[in-house]
Structure 1
Amino acid sequence: MLHLASQSPRRRQLLEQIGVEFAVLDVEVVEQRAPDEAPQEYVSRVARDKARAGLIRLGHADDVVVLGADTEVVLDDEVFGKPQDADAAAAMLRRLSGRTHAVVSAIWLVGTAREQCEVCVSQVRFATLDESTIAAYVATGEPFGKAGAYAIQGRGAMLVEHLQGSYSGVMGLPVFETARLLRGFGIAPG
């Protein structure tokens, strides 16, 4: 049985999209980057920690597989988390304006006998944003709860000038890589 160690509605939607049956687990892990930890290593570690926390919560049953995922926006080696308030969201959007940033998504599948990971890195270029565009977008409330203060699947799509990589990865769960991992664990999407 597959368990998703995430409360993200986007991750649930993407798993449902590929026809995977799963149960949702609520897990809490510390999401803080270590001083010398590279952004990609940080994202992968958090995803692994979520999956392992889910497995521990389920008692390491033999037929259990837990999917943990994390997605972060990275610019100039800085990991942009979720904005705490409107000022933080506007500040993130100003920094992303007119620039290309990486969106790193890591997926870990963890069972009692094995673990496996996929990491997907996409490049997203934002249009140059003026203050009124930033203020209007922040006022929608969409930036809250989103890494980098935007949702590519929502109104945030209007900010994206170019995407190279995985659209679903930017949303929070790269579907191609996830399906490949699931098949490797004997879980057939579709």
Structure 2
Amino acid sequence: MLYLASRSPRRSQLLQQLGLDFQVLDIDVPEVRDPAETAVAYVARVAADKARAGREQRGSDDDWILAADTEVVLDDQVFGKPADAEAAAAMLARLSDRTHQVVSCLHLLGPQGARTACCQSLVRFAALTSAEIRAYVATGEPYGKAGGYAIQGRAAAFVEHLDGSYSGVMGLPLFETARLLRSMTG
């Protein structure tokens, strides 16, 4: 049986697009970057931590546990989920008129072991006015989203250019997910 170790409704929706039967595990792991970790190493570690937490919750080595983590990175700073409106506005102001990186890593635990895959995308935001930022934050959409925005939502209007995976920016890179599952399950 395949389990998705994630609270994210977006990840569930994306995984459904692959036509797979799976169940969701509600897991919670600390997401704190070690100063010695690169941004990619941090995202990969958090994905692995989530998968291990899912495996622990299931208590069986026979299940497949898929976990993912996605972070927005600018100038080697990882932008997590904004705590409040002020934090969301500050993140969006920093992303305005800049290109940032979105790193999504997957970790799959199965009976044959574990594998990780990462996807890195570049997203260019248009220049945003403070009024646009305030109006977007007021929608509530930035909360619970890495970098304070949802590319599949109203923030799509901010994206001048995307080089990479749209589904990866949403939180579950489907190409990499399908390839990872095929490589482990045959």
Shorter-normalised TM-score: what interval?
over 0.9
Shift, 1:59, TM fit = 1.1
Alignment partner, residue 54 of structure 2: 54
Shift, 1:166, TM fit = 0.1
Alignment partner, residue 131 of structure 1: 130
Shift, 1:56, TM fit = 1.4
Alignment partner, residue 160 of structure 2: 161
TM-score, with structure 1 as normaliser: 0.96
**Cα RMSD for the two superposed structures:** 0.9
Is residue 112–residue 184 contact of structure 2 (8 Å, CA) maintained in 1? Answer: no
Alignment of 1:10-159 (within 5 A): 10-62=10-62, 64-159=63-158
Distance, in Å, in 2 between the alignment partners of 1:59 and 1:112 is 13
Distance, in Å, in 2 between the alignment partners of 1:8 and 1:111 is 21
Deviations 1:47-81 (A, max 9, x none): 0000011111111232x010010000000000000
Letter in 2 for 1:134: I
Deviates further, 22-31 or 168-177: 22-31
> Which ranges of 4 or more aligned residues in structure 1 deviate by more than 2 Å?
none
Deviations 1:91-128 (A, max 9, x none): 00000000000000000101243000110000000000
Distance, in Å, in 1 between the alignment partners of 2:56 and 2:110 is 10
